[in-house]
């Protein structure tokens, strides 16, 4: 029997059910008879408004004529339930300049309205979150965009966000700069607004003429070998030490360290598999011989032994260690080691990259090891053969050989 795939998508900011199938005249006749069914020229499939009634009509129309694949639609509806169950935080009090955006009919808000989000803008916020989830954006990106839009909608008061023009948004961002917001915050808010206006509302090139502030070039903060030795020796807990070793040994982000599963450690090929890291990219990195010995020793002593993740929390078996806990481990080690630099867990990644660069490793390899999209100091989109990456030694091995680190 023929298969018809039902999938969710947005059309003019409204949720729809896409009806996708291989070209077939008999199925074309069936779908044309479904009430409210329309053809999408850009997507090349039929669609109806997303509702229970629409779904029932689809099931009735294709009954006995085709099998319905609702896997993607079901996943989306389950995600949507979670979004709808999430309460939007109460807006924070803030002073709003009524001239932030000059509108033909007056100012965008009154001081008395500055503490609320209008129902229309609240709906826009929920719609944007749903859209992000449908596009499978990461939880971190969704949180960031949601937070930036929450502030934006607060500041608009009762004025509908969808009625603003490019010039209005320009003036708003200019006011943000005048109020002292950092370049990074402006970039983050611009990204969120760009997504809302161009992706959710479908206004193509809405931000084409809106410039972005130049980012401050911030050099990475790095620890030297002696500082790293003190840092590692300041921690006696085997799990905590293994977490720090792994981050430095392979140049991993904190989220990547806590997301490593037991199955991701390949001792035969001496590789670590990093799954769905930043940008949803998979990659392989070197598994240092020293790190492998450390991990084996840690697992042997760990009670209870990890079941799924390499580093698991104290809750239910199989739950991963939290990134926040790993960051606290680093800060505790930094304080105990007497390191006064203002550095975070991420400096282990910076230190790894800097140290292997100093040892002569080609920057093109470093780009792929770290999983970067690009490195400004080398050619853009430069790729290297993946199999060469596993032969690059870890800087942890060099420090270990000097015999200064305790285990």
If pLDDT is split at 50, 70 and 90, which confidence band does 256 have?
A: very high
Q: What is the pTM of this model?
A: 0.57
Q: Is residue 211 part of a domain?
A: no
Query: Could you give the number of structural domains in the chain?
Result: 3
Residue-level pLDDT at 38: 92
349 catalytic per annotation:
yes
Q: Is residue 205 part of a domain?
A: no
Query: If you write DSSP's letter for every residue of 249-272 in order, what string do you get?
Result: HHT--HHHHHH-BGGGEETTTTEE
Residue-level pLDDT at 295: 93
380 catalytic per annotation:
no
Same domain, 56 and 96: no
Lowest mean pLDDT among 112-126, 133-147, 256-270: 112-126
Burial class (CB in 10 A: 0-12, 13-18, 19+), 369: buried
Q: Is residue 214 part of a domain?
A: no
Over range 333-362, report the average pLDDT: 86
Residue-level pLDDT at 85: 56
Residue-level pLDDT at 97: 38
Instruction: Tell me: pLDDT of 25 over 80.
Output: yes
What's 347's domain CATH number?
1.10.443.10
372 catalytic per annotation:
yes
Burial class (CB in 10 A: 0-12, 13-18, 19+), 138: middle
pLDDT 10s digits, 136-182: 888 888 989 999 998 899 889 888 999 999 999 999 999 998 888 88
User: Which conformational region is residue 276 in: left (phi greater than 0), alpha (psi within -120 to 50 degrees), or beta?
Assistant: left
Lowest mean pLDDT among 59-68, 129-138, 149-158, 272-281: 272-281
Query: Catalytic one among 82, 381, 383, 391?
Result: 381
Same domain, 156 and 234: no
Q: Is residue 184 part of a domain?
A: yes
Between strands 45-49 and 283-286, the pairing is unpaired
Lowest mean pLDDT among 10-19, 88-97, 265-274, 360-369: 88-97
Query: Catalytic one among 131, 230, 349, 367?
Result: 349
Q: Is residue 407 part of a domain?
A: no
Instruction: Tell me: pLDDT of 361 over 70.
Output: no
Closest C-alpha among 77, 78, 66 to residue 5? 66
Residue-level pLDDT at 181: 86
Residue-level pLDDT at 371: 63
Query: Catalytic one among 131, 146, 240, 253?
Result: 253
Residue-level pLDDT at 60: 93
Same domain, 316 and 369: yes
- Residue 313 domain boundaries: 225-401
Query: Catalytic one among 278, 283, 336, 364?
Result: 278
Tokens of 39: 């053809």
Q: Which of 200, 215, 237 is the last residue of a domain?
A: 200
Instruction: Tell me: pLDDT of 282 over 90.
Output: no
Q: What percent of the chain has pLDDT over 90?
A: 42
Same domain, 377 and 294: yes
Q: What percent of the chain has pLDDT over 70?
A: 82
Distance CA 183, CA 188 (A): 9
Same domain, 184 and 262: no
Give the distance, in angstroms, between the CA of residue 51 and the centroid of all CA atoms in the same chain.
29
pLDDT 10s digits, 70-106: 988 888 888 777 655 554 444 333 333 333 333 333 3
Same domain, 315 and 335: yes
Q: Which of 74, 106, 123 is the last residue of a domain?
A: 74
Same domain, 97 and 178: yes
Lowest mean pLDDT among 123-137, 149-163, 351-365: 351-365
Q: Is residue 322 part of a domain?
A: yes
Most confident of 12-21, 113-122, 182-191, 310-319: 182-191
Same domain, 172 and 269: no
Same domain, 368 and 319: yes
Q: Which of 74, 107, 136 is the last residue of a domain?
A: 74
Residue-level pLDDT at 89: 43
Q: Is residue 95 part of a domain?
A: yes
Cα separation values, 139 from 10, 125, 161, 283, 385, Å: 20, 15, 24, 20, 31
Q: Is residue 145 part of a domain?
A: yes
Residue-level pLDDT at 369: 63
What's 170's domain CATH number?
1.10.150
Same domain, 255 and 178: no
Whether the CB-CB separation of 27 and 37 falls below 8 Å is answered with: no
Over range 308-337, report the average pLDDT: 90
Residue-level pLDDT at 378: 27
What's 60's domain CATH number?
3.40.1170
385 catalytic per annotation:
no
381 catalytic per annotation:
yes
Same domain, 69 and 91: no
Instruction: Tell me: pLDDT of 191 over 90.
Output: yes
Residue-level pLDDT at 165: 92
Query: Catalytic one among 170, 171, 261, 346?
Result: 346
Residue-level pLDDT at 364: 59
Same domain, 109 and 45: no
């Amino acid at each position: 029997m023929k298969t018809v795939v039902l999938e969710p998508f947005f059309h003019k900011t409204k949720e729809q059910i896409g009806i996708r199938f291989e070209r077939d005249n008999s199925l074309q006749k069936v779908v044309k008879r479904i009430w409210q069914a329309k053809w999408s020229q850009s997507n090349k499939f039929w669609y109806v408004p997303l509702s229970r009634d629409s779904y029932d009509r689809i099931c009735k129309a294709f009954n006995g004529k085709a099998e319905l694949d609702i896997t993607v639609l079901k996943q989306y509806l389950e995600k949507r339930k979670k979004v709808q169950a999430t309460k939007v935080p109460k807006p924070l009090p803030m002073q709003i300049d009524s001239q932030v955006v000059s509108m033909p009919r007056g100012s965008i808000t009154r001081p008395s309205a500055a503490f609320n989000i209008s129902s229309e803008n609240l709906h826009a916020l929920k719609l944007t979150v749903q859209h992000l989830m449908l596009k499978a954006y990461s939880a971190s990106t969704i949180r960031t965009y949601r937070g930036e839009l929450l502030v934006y909608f607060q500041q608009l008061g009762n004025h509908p966000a969808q009625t603003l023009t490019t010039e209005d948004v320009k003036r708003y961002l200019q006011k943000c700069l005048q109020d002292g917001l950092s370049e990074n915050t402006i970039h983050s808010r611009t990204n969120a607004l760009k997504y809302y206006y161009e992706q959710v509302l479908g206004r193509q090139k809405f931000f084409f003429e809106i410039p972005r502030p130049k980012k401050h070039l911030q050099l990475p903060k790095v620890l030297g070998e002696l500082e790293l030795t003190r840092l590692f020796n300041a921690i006696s807990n085997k799990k905590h030490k293994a977490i720090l070793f792994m981050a430095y040994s392979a140049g991993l982000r904190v989220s990547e360290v806590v997301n490593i599963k037991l199955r991701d450690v390949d001792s035969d090929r001496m590789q670590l598999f990093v799954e769905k890291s930043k940008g949803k990219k998979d990659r392989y990195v070197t598994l240092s011989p020293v790190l492998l010995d450390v991990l084996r020793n840690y697992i042997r002593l760990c009670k209870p032994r990890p079941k799924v993740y390499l580093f698991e929390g104290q809750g239910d078996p199989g739950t991963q260690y939290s990134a926040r806990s790993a960051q606290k481990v680093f800060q505790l080690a930094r304080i105990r080691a007497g390191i006064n630099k203002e550095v975070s867990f991420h400096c282990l990644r910076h230190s790894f990259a800097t140290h292997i660069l100093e040892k002569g490793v080609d920057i093109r390899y470093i780009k792929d090891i770290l999983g970067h999209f690009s490195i400004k100091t080398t050619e853009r989109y430069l790729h290297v053969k993946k199999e060469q990456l596993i032969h690059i030694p870890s800087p942890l091995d060099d420090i270990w050989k000097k015999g200064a680190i305790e285990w």
